[in-house]
Structure formats: structure tokens, C-alpha cells
A and B are shown apart, each in its own frame.
Chain A
Amino acid sequence: MSNRSLALLAVASLVFTAASAFGQTAKPEAAQNIPRTAGGKPDFSGIWQSLSGADYGLEPHLATKDGPPGAGIVVGDVIPYRPEALAERAKKFAARATADPRTKCFTLGTPRGIYSNEPFQILQRPRDLTLLYEFGHPVRTINTNGTEHPDGHIDFWLGDSRGHWEGDTLVVDVTDFNGETWLDRVGDFNSDELHLVERWSFLDRNTIRYRATFEDPKVYTRPWTIEVLLYRRLEPNVQIIENYCSTLDYDKYYPFPASNE
């Protein structure tokens, strides 16, 4: 087989992988069955959670003592790191027990907060979507009021999110990252130059299809994409319960002063 045929085969298998992940077996529900706001936009309000296990590794991975196996959520399976970035990931992997920002209860960031193991709530208004993450309790705003990224580069933990609607898909442009966050527990990462484009759409009324494309020439050789499903939490007593995780380290110093001390 010629190199060209091999390349074509590789592309075809990539396309097949991407398509088979969700497209062929899970067709979007009829548009009239999804929840909508008074203004007619898809209404993503609710508490959502990924079951992908992607936080244990975005790429396909076997079980370790740290976590379960998973088929990953990277379209095409492999994150196209630059060689020096691959070395950086190896360093991060080796130091992950203490260097992963999650272990310090820091904001997981974008997009990790979406597909991590923890739930988050979307509160939606015409002008914005507010994402209330349970872990660490940070808040991300996706502005949908026609505003643009602020001038200059600002180092945000969650990035600066500006969204618009393309039909029933919310397309969000995210920039202004600080490069301090990780993408999972095994050292996958991006730099402050990341440009993320998210596409949020309903698969059915209780499932969001979340797709995000990473562009970051400092770290990756080409753009790459993740695709993951988010499930609506339906337990009648479900509520985002505050988890100011960083307070757990000193929680013990602050019982209210007892009278018998």
C-alpha cells in the first residue's frame, strides 16, 4: 500500500472513530423535544455531570491504582503534543500526586471543570450562562450578550468565555487562560495561549453533547478535539453543595469556640 493510501486509511479511520463515538448510535432527539427558554433558545439549566472518567486521562488508558480504565474522549485518541510539550507532560505525570492543581483544591479550569467527575449547575439567562462548579465552588460566566473578549491578555483560571448561538448549538469562544490548570489527573495540559472553541448541544433533553477544539501552537502541533456527554442529574434531592475544598486543610482549627475549653 502506498503512503498516500495509508494516510487516507488513517484519515478514514479517524473519521469513523469520531462518527462512531456518538453519531451513529445516538442521533439527536427531535428539536421540538428539547427544553427551551422563553426566547426559544435551548435551555441548558440544570445540574450536569460527566460519567466519562476523562479526568483520569483524556486519552485512552488502562486501569491504574489511581483510577479506572477509560476509552478516552479525544477524537482520534492522541493529543498531538509538540515534542518538548510531551516531555513536560511526562514531568507533570511524575509529579501528579502533589502538582495536579486539583490536589490543592484549585479551580479545575476550562474545560476540565466540565468533564471532571464533579457535578456543576448551569443557570441560564438571555445574557449569559452561569456555571456553578461544585468542586472548589468557582463560577464561570459564558456571556451571550454580544460582548467580546476584553483587550489584552488576562490570566484567568477559567478563561474568558463569549458565546453565540448557531441554530440549537451554543458556540463558545474561550481565551485568556493562565496556563496554570491541568486537563486531567495525568498531566495533560495547555498553555496560556490556548484558544478553545466549545460546542454545546442537546443529544436529548437530559443529555448534552459537549465538543471542544483546542488550538495552542505553543503546546500542540495541530488543533484537536474532545467530545463527551454530560448527563442531567435527576435525583429529587440533588443540589450543588458547597465544597470549598481548600478549607478542609484548616477546618479543624475552626470549631466555634466551645465553652468548656
Chain B
Amino acid sequence: MKSHLKHCVPALFLGALAIAPTAASAQGARGWRETLFVPTPQGEWTGPRLPDGQPDISGHWSNTIGNHNNLTDPQGPLGGDDEGPPREGRQNARPIKPRSERAPSRVSDPPDGQVPLQPWARAKQQEFLKYLNNPIKPEYVEPFARCAPGGPTKSFMWHGYEIRQYPGYVLFLFDSGNRVIYLDGRPHLPANLKLWNGDSRGHWQGNTLLVDTTNNNSKARLGRSGEFVSENATIQERFIFDPNGDRFTYDATYTDPTVLTRPFTITIPNRRVTDKTPPDDWNNLTFPAKHAGTEPIIEAYERVCVEGNGDHGQVVAAAK
């Protein structure tokens, strides 16, 4: 075992270029991947708690429906390049099922499942999508391919991730970037500090972590499909945990009069990764820890990205 960059770089390559050397391993996640999910209802928390009173939801998690390729059709094709028959080296290396058999749009509101972009913004999104696999300008390279953080919502549309909790904090360790949710009631950072993953303040209400995320630089697209918001966007997030500890539903309502005609909501189902979860190099990036005891302990190795992103450097150079 030489390096664990493999979790980041080849998979990013898949996301960035659709010449998917690891499409096969993504298919290995078939047992994990689901097309339907039942949103967890908001309610009381009856599961275990930490000494500071927080519901104990720490551990490893992953979304259940797909990657960041297509926001509104998570298991569907993306653009003309991917509508052909399955072929190694294409984004849709697996057969594409009819729309009715694929996971629903991550946009749960409005009911049409689309981001309510103003007409000019829709045109910009279409332009981005048109050049996604042929980025003739640097701005058509999806920033995630350059190891930028995924942004508040798209980070949940990528590899498995870890949640750690502390008095006053919930920490998300994503495969690309990380995020601290402050629970201590401190004010937001000054408004002129715009961040890839925003500035998050949260509190618990029963089984739900309610988070107010501002200071978004909104440089990350909402999917490789190109939907976007502006740096004026605010996000109300709800992490609704099933008290059995196995699943949670992530809801994020975006408000942004600069780009949107109305607020919209992204919904992403998530499931806990345990020592019983088969390793698949995608949802489950954990390994059994070596120790003398008998209880199962899993851990994830360090997550780095830019340090091993040479191939993307070339992509980026080509795009200049």
C-alpha cells in the first residue's frame, strides 16, 4: 500500500472528465446505492446522547443515491456525451435505467425538481454544461476537479465522510475539504469574508441539527450539471437523524434573489457506514484499525487532494 491518494485523485478524475478509470469501483457500490428513500421526519431524539446533551451521531456516513454528476437526475446521464450506450470510460459505464426507475431529483422543492434559476442564469448553466467535458476556458473546469471544496451541499454528493462532535461543535470531514458547524451561538464572520464552505451556525432541536450557513462564496457549482447560486445566497440546512442512528436526511433550502426566482430545497439521503459495510472505495473509505481489543474500530486515513492532483494540473493547463 503506497498511498491513499487513490481515493481522491482517480475518483476526482471520474468526476472531472468522464473518462472514468474508477467507474467499475463506483459500480461496486451497487449494494449501497438506492433509488428510493423515505425522508426522516423531524421529531424527538430517542437515541444515545453525548455528555454535553447532543444526539450522538458521530461516525462515518455516505449519501445513498449517487455522486455530484447530475444534481437533478442523480442516477441519470449528463449531457450529450453520456447519452450513448454504456461504455468503459464514460460517465454512464453502467446501464442507465428509465427515468421512472432512477432516484428522484435532489431538488425536492419546487415540485418540478429543477433549480428555479432566472432565465439568464439558466442560460449560463447550460453554457457550463455544454463545455463541461471540453473546457475551452478555465471557468468551464469544474472547480472540484481542481481540489476546491465542494461547497455546503455538494460535499454530501461525494465520497463517504465523517462527523465528529464536541461541546460547541459539529465537524464534517469530507473527502475534499471540511466544515465546522458552531453550536455556541457566536455571531457569523464579517459579511465580506466569503468562503467555499460558508460560515455555519447551528443548534439542535430534537433529532434535527438546524444550521444557518452564510458567507458563501458560491464558487462551487451545485453539481457538475452546472447549477449555481450567487455570493448573496444563504442556506438553511436541516440534518434530520433517525433515532436508530442508521440514517439521516439532509435538507438545504437556498435563498438567493440574485439568481433564483424563488427559494428551493436540496434533499440528500445519507446512511451510516459501519464495520459491516463492505469496502467499495467510494461510499466506504474506512479501514479496520489495528488494535489488541476485539471490538470493531474503523477509521479513515488522511484526506488530501491538491498534493496529488498532477493530472488535473494538466487538465487545467489544457484549459488555459
Whether a CB of chain B sits under 8 angstroms from the CB of A147 is yes
User: How many interface residues does chain A have, given as a range?
Assistant: 35 or more
**With A239-B189, A256-B231: A106-B307 Cβ-Cβ less than 8 Å:** yes
Shortest distance from the beta carbon of A39 to any chain B beta carbon, whole Å = 10
Any A CB within 8 A of the CB of B89: no
Query: Are B173 and A253 in contact (CB-based, < 8 A)?
Result: no
Q: How far is the CB of A204 from chain B (nearest CB, A)?
A: 22
Chain B 191-205: CB-based contact to A (< 8 A → 1; otherwise 0): 001011100000000
Which residues of B lie under 8 Å from residue A125 when comparing CB positions?
164, 166
Q: Name the interface residues of A14-35: CB closer than 8 Å to any CB of B.
A: none
Partner among A141, A148, A241, A256 whose Cβ is within 8 Å of the Cβ of B259: A256
The A-contacting residues of B in range 225-255, CB under 8 angstroms, are 228-231
Cα A224 to Cα B282 with chains together (Å): 41
Query: Is the pair B290, A253 in contact by a Cβ cutoff of 8 Å?
Result: no
Chain B contacts for A130, CB-based, 8 A? 164, 171
Interface: B121 (CB within 8 A): yes
Quote the shortest CB–CB distance from A141 to chain B (angstroms). 8
Interface residues on B, range: 35 or more
- State whether A139 touches B302 (Cβ < 8 A): yes
B147 at the interface (CB under 8 A from A): yes
How long is the Cα–Cα vector from A255 to B292 in the complex, in angstroms? 52
Cβ contacts A108-141/B at 8 Å (1 or 0 each): 0000000000000001110000101000111111
Q: CB < 8 Å: which of A104, A124, A132, A256 contacts B230?
A: A256
Neighbour of B196 across the interface among A107, A132, A145, A242, CB < 8 A: A242
- Asked if A253 and B177 sit within 8 Å, CB to CB, the answer is no
- A140→B302 contact, CB < 8 A: yes
Contacts of B146 in A (CB 8 A): 246-247, 250
CB distance from B149 to the nearest CB of A (A): 6
Comparing B1-9, B14-22, B33-41, B70-78, the segment that makes contact with chain A is B1-9
Q: Provide 23 A-B residue pairs closer than 8 Å at the C-beta atoms, listed in order of the A residue.
A: A106-B306, A107-B304, A125-B166, A132-B171, A139-B173, A143-B299, A145-B289, A146-B293, A154-B3, A154-B4, A155-B2, A156-B302, A158-B302, A180-B307, A239-B182, A239-B186, A242-B196, A242-B197, A244-B148, A246-B306, A256-B229, A256-B230, A257-B228
Residues of A at the B interface (CB closer than 8 Å) are 38, 45, 101, 104-107, 123-125, 130, 132, 136-141, 143, 145-158, 178, 180, 237, 239-242, 244, 246-247, 250-251, 253-257, 259
